[in-house]
C-alpha cells in the first residue's frame, strides 16, 4: 500500500545507486565499537570508528554514565529552556569552556545540531558566509538554513579567501560576514590554515567560525585545532563534538558569554530538542577530566597513526595530504573503491569505502581511523590485507 509515485521514485533511485557503486550497506555490530568488533558472527580489526582515543568503552566513563543514570534517570525529560537543564549540563558546559579557553559553552544533542543552531542563529538575510568548499555537510546544511549569501572559497586557498573577503566587504552589501572552516577536514585529514584565516578575518572584520569536530581530543593537548595554533582568544565560535575523541554523544559551541546567551535564546535546536541524557553528560565530563589529566591516549593515537601511514606509503598507496591520524587511502573509482573495501572485509579488516556524495566524484577512498587502542599486530594484519587487495586490483605493483 501507499503511494505508487513514492515507491517508483525510491526504487529507481536505489537501483541507480547500486549500479554506480554508491549504495551503502549498514551492518549492525554485535559488540562494543572498539579496535576489534564482531559482526555477523565474525571478528574484524576495526578501522572505521571515530572513537579516536578508545573512550567509548572506557571503564571510568561507563561507571560515570551508570551512576548518573541511577541518580537522574535515563532521560533528561525536557528541553533545556523548560526544565531539562540538570546541574550536570551546567557542569559540562563550564568544563568545556575552561578546556577550550572560552568564556562559555553551550551543549547540544549532536555536533550536527550545533551547526544547525549556531550559523542560523547568527547569520541571516543581508549577511554573507565565506565557506571552505570541503566543509562538512552539517556546515553546508547550516548555511542553507540562513538567508545569507553563501560564497564558497577554494579549499584552504588563502588567496581565494582573501580576495572574496575583500570583495564582500568592499561591496557594502552585507551587514555581517562570517568565515567558516573545519578545523580538521574529516575525509583528507588536513588541518585548516587557521593563523592565516584569522589574519584575514581581522583585516576584513569577519566573524570566525571553526568546526573542530575532528580536532578536539586530538590536537592542542586535546583542546583542539584552535588551541593548537594558540588562537583561543581570536576565534569567535568553536564547534566541537562529544561523540568522536570524547567517546560519548553530543556537541557544543564554545564562545563568549554573550554569544552563549544568544544561542540559548534563539538557536532552535537548543529550544526545541530534548537535552542530552544524564548518562551521556556524566560520561562526557569524565572524558574531559581524563583529557586534561593525561596525554597518554593522544600519544598512543599519534604513534599508531604514524605506524599505519608509513606502512601504507611503503606499499605504494596514496594517503593524500593528511596531517592527522585520519588516514585516507585514495582509490579513485567508486566501484573499485567498494570492491577494495569488500576484499579487506574478507580478510577480516573493517574499513569502509567513502564515495560520492561524501567526497567528490572520482576521489573514492578507504578512510582508515587508527585509534589509541589498536596494537601493532592489528595494524600489521591490516597492512597485509591492504597489500593483497592492492595487488589483486592493480592499485599497487
Helix axes 111-122, 137-144, angle to 10 degrees: 30
CA torsion sign for 358, 158, 214, 187 is positive
The Cα angle at residue 82 between residues 80 and 86, in degrees rounded to 5? 50
Three-class secondary structure of residue 132 per DSSP: strand
95 is catalytic: no
What the block records as the C-alpha cell of 25 is 550497506
Q: Which of these is catalytic: 89, 100, 136, 214?
A: 214
Closest CA to 297 of 66, 58, 12: 58
Annotated catalytic residue: which of 76, 120, 186, 284?
A: 186
* Cα 226 from Cα 391, distance rounded (Å): 41
CA torsion, ordered 84, 86, 91, 94, to nearest 10 deg: 30
- 214 is an active site residue: yes
**Residues in Cβ contact with 83 at an 8 Å cutoff, skipping those fewer than 6 apart:** 77
At which residue does the C-alpha cell 582508515 appear? Answer: 368
Please provide the size of the chain in residues: 397
**Is 259 exposed, middle or buried (CB count within 10 Å of its CB: 0-12, 13-18, 19+)?**
buried
Which is the catalytic residue, given 164, 227, 228, 244? 244
Are 109 and 274 within 8 A, CB to CB?
yes
- How many whole angstroms separate alpha carbon 172 and alpha carbon 174? 6
The residues assigned a catalytic role are 186, 214, 244
Amino acid at each position: 500500500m501507499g503511494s505508487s509515485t513514492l515507491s517508483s521514485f525510491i526504487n529507481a533511485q536505489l537501483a541507480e545507486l547500486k549500479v554506480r557503486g554508491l549504495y551503502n550497506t549498514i551492518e549492525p555490530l554485535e559488540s562494543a565499537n572498539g579496535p576489534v568488533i564482531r559482526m555477523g558472527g565474525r571478528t574484524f580489526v576495526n578501522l572505521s570508528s571515530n572513537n579516536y582515543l578508545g573512550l567509548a568503552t572506557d571503564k571510568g566513563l561507563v561507571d560515570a554514565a551508570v551512576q548518573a543514570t541511577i541518580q537522574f534517570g535515563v532521560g533528561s525529560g525536557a528541553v533545556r529552556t523548560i526544565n531539562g537543564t540538570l546541574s550536570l549540563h551546567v557542569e559540562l558546559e563550564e568544563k568545556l569552556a575552561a578546556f577550550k579557553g572560552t568564556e562559555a559553552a553551550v551543549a547540544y544533542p549532536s555536533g550536527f545540531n550545533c551547526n544547525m543552531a549556531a550559523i542560523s542563529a547568527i547569520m541571516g538575510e543581508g549577511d554573507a558566509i565565506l565557506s571552505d568548499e570541503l566543509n562538512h555537510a552539517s556546515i553546508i546544511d547550516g548555511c542553507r538554513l540562513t538567508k545569507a549569501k553563501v560564497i564558497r572559497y577554494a579549499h584552504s586557498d588563502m588567496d581565494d579567501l582573501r580576495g572574496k573577503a575583500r570583495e564582500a566587504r568592499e561591496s557594502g552589501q552585507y551587514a555581517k560576514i562570517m568565515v567558516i572552516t573545519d578545523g580538521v577536514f574529516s575525509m583528507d585529514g588536513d588541518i585548516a590554515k587557521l593563523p592565516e584565516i584569522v589574519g584575514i578575518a581581522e583585516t576584513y572584520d569577519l566573524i570566525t567560525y571553526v568546526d573542530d569536530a575532528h580536532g578536539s581530543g586530538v590536537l592542542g593537548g586535546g583542546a583542539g585545532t584552535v588551541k593548537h595554533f594558540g588562537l583561543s582568544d581570536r576565534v569567535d565560535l568553536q564547534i566541537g563534538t562529544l561523540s568522536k575523541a570524547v567517546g560519548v554523544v553530543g556537541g557544543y559551541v564554545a564562545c563568549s558569554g554573550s554569544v552563549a546567551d544568544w544561542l540559548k535564546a534563539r538557536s532552535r535546536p537548543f529550544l526545541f530538542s530534548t537535552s542530552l541524557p544524564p548518562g551521556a553528560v556524566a560520561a562526557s565530563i569524565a572524558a574531559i577530566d581524563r583529557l586534561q589529566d593525561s596525554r597518554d591516549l593522544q600519544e598512543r593515537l599519534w604513534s599508531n597513526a604514524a605506524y599505519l601511514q608509513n606502512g601504507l606509503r611503503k606499499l605504494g598507496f596514496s594517503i593524500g595530504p593528511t596531517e592527522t591520524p585520519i588516514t585516507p587511502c585514495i582509490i579513485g573509482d567508486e566501484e573499485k573503491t567498494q570492491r577494495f573495501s569488500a576484499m579487506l572485509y574478507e580478510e577480516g579488516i573493517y574499513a569502509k569505502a567513502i564515495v560520492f556524495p561524501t567526497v567528490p566524484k572520482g576521489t573514492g577512498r578507504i578512510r582508515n581511523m587508527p585509534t589509541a587502542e589498536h596494537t601493532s599486530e592489528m595494524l600489521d594484519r591490516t597492512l597485509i590485507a591492504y597489500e593483497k587487495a592492492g595487488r589483486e586490483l592493480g592499485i599497487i605493483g
